[in-house]
Amino acid sequence: TLSLQALVNQQRILAVDAIRCPATIILRSRRASLCSLSHAQKNRVAGGPGLEDFLPNAQRPPARLRLPDWLKREIPAGGQFAKMQRSLRQLKLHTVCEEARCPNIGECWSGEAATATIMLMGDTCTRACRFCSVKTSLKPPPLDPMEPANTAKAVAGWSGHYVVLTSVDRDDLADGGAGHIGATVSEILRLRPDMLVECLVPDFRGRPDCMETVVLSGPQVLAHNLETVESLQRLVRDPKATYRQSLDALSHAKRCRPDVVTKSSLMLGLGETDDEILKAMEDLRSVGVEALTLGQYVQPTKRHLKVRDYVTPEAFKSWEERGKAMGFLYVASGPLVRSSYKAGEYYLAAVVRQKRGD
């Protein structure tokens, strides 16, 4: 046992430590608390939040689901893949393929018709949706004034005839970045009049004038993603986004330019019901949406929402058939389908040309 003098000396040392660095005591306390956690509790801390963590009195699901075989893809590699990567780096361009950790990047960036989905306005978003791995900040870096020209230069060198432009949300800008997106579309069509351009855009906080700026710049396909069913909107998306606001954005794009193909996307596997999926599809058709993609949500990191269930390829096929029966001109539905997916570009291009009478 310690003598009385030893105890006094120990207390003096702790007091001096606290004066010199108050965080010392707090740090020791936190370490002690962490050491007292059980093995199961430590695993839960490391596992990240799940959808149920945002629901009061929700039943907690079992351990993290294992990735099924149909969602496993090879690690991307190859000469064309590396060439595409170098080209984008040299022009200081970002892609949603990399930022969103798309599982199809190896397929889309390889082969003679290699293509990428360019992500405009930087790599930092002003929103923080719980499914998305893109960086977030209330004050992202300023726009690159050379980005429209650099994007057009990169796209002009591709052998394909279809390009997808997407962007981060930029609520910090007066027009949400609509003018920047429109300038990029115009520059691409100036260099490549034969190019079909798809724009996957934000909701611009519901401002019709911003949507008009993009639509009137000339894209043949205008996409905005509903992302999930109505009941899960506030849990999955940033609070600035709403179900009705997204539907209104798509509706206004169609009214502004009836010839433009409007498109949207839904993620499955977040706990939605079949009736809710069907209702979302009906709502999209009611505002004139003609193209729809449905894909499996995959948790990008442990910090994001957990997958509630893995939808089978057979179930996705069923949703594709139901979508076509509802009147969608184009439906892509599968575990690996994403809103911008190379395999779907050929079909969308055919739809555009059919509408134009080519």
What's the pLDDT at 86? 67
Strands 196-200 and 162-167: parallel
Is there a domain that residue 249 lies in? yes
pLDDT band at 336 (very low <50, low <70, confident <90, very high): confident
Average pLDDT score over residue span 9-25? 53
pLDDT digits (tens, 9 = 90+) for 208-239: 999 999 999 999 999 999 999 999 999 999 99
Residue 340 labelled as part of a binding site: yes
Classify residue 49 as exposed, middle or buried by CB count within 10 Å of its CB (0-12, 13-18, 19+): middle
Residues β-bridged to residue 261: 221
pLDDT digits (tens, 9 = 90+) for 42-51: 555 555 666 5
CATH number of the domain residue 217 falls in: 3.20.20.70
Is residue 90 scored above 70 in pLDDT?
A: no
Residue 256 labelled as part of a binding site: no
Is there a domain that residue 277 lies in? yes
Cα 11 to Cα 21, 22, 23, 150, 289, distances in angstroms: 15, 15, 17, 65, 71
Is there a domain that residue 22 lies in? no
Report the distance separating Cα 140 and Cα 124, nearest Å.
6
Is there a domain that residue 29 lies in? no
Is there a domain that residue 320 lies in? yes
Query: Tokens 């060198």 appear where?
Result: 157
Is there a domain that residue 11 lies in? no
pLDDT band at 37 (very low <50, low <70, confident <90, very high): low
Is residue 354 scored above 70 in pLDDT?
A: yes
Residue 102 labelled as part of a binding site: yes
Is there a domain that residue 288 lies in? yes
Domain total of the chain? 1
Is there a domain that residue 6 lies in? no
pLDDT digits (tens, 9 = 90+) for 109-136: 555 555 667 889 998 999 999 988 889 9
Average pLDDT score over residue span 70-89? 60
Cα 154 to Cα 84, 86, 92, 200, 339, distances in angstroms: 10, 11, 10, 18, 21
Domain hosting 124: range is 79-356
